[in-house]
Amino acid sequence: MNRLLFLCTGNYYQSRFAEVLFNSLASGCQLEWRADSRGLALDLTGGNVGPMSAAAFKRLVAMGIDCASMQRFPKAVSAVDLHAAHLVVALDETEHRPLLRARFPEWENQAVYWLVHDLDKWTDETTLTVIDSQVRRLVQELRKNPVLGAGAKVR
C-alpha cells in the first residue's frame, strides 16, 4: 500500500478534508494508496474546536462520507511521517512551503504543492471545492500511474 501525506498548518481543516475525501475515493476504485494528514504548525493555530473543522465535517457528511478518522484530533507532522510517505502534498504553497523549509528543510523540494488558500483569503465553499477538485484529479492521476513516488509532480 502506497502512503500519501497531506499537509496544512493545523491539521484541522484543509488536510483533514483532503485525507478523508481521498481515502473514500481511493477505496471506491480499489486504488492501492492510503492518505493520512498532519499539520506543520499546530502551535500557530488558535480557535480550533474539536477534532475537525465543522465546515469540512459537514461537507464530507453531505457527500455521504462519514468515517472514524473524522473524529481524531489534529496531529503535528514528524520526520517519521514524512519518511513513511510515498507522496507528500502541501495544500497551500504560499503558506506551507516556508513552514516546511523552516521545520523540515530537507523536504521543501520533495513535496508537491497545491495552491489552496485558507479562510483568510477564500470562503469555506471555495476552499473545499478546490480541494475536492484537486483530490479527484490526484486520484485519477494515481489510477493512471499508481507507483508515483515522493517528489512526483502531480498537479
Candidates 8, 17, 29; CA nearest to 61 is: 17
pTM score above 0.85: yes
Look at 119 and 146; give whichever has higher pLDDT: 119
Please give the tally of structural domains in the chain.
1
Domain presence at residue 55: yes
User: Quick one: 80 exposed, middle or buried, by C-beta within 10 A (0-12, 13-18, 19+)?
Assistant: exposed
Q: Is residue 94 part of a domain?
A: yes
Instruction: Kindly state whether residue 149 falls inside one of the protein's structural domains.
Output: no
**CATH code of the domain covering residue 13:** 3.40.50.2300
How high is the pLDDT of residue 122? 81
152: in domain: no
pLDDT at 154: 42
| Domain encompassing residue 116 | 2-144
| CB distance 82 to 88 below 8 Å | yes
Q: Is a pLDDT exceeding 70 seen at residue 150?
A: no
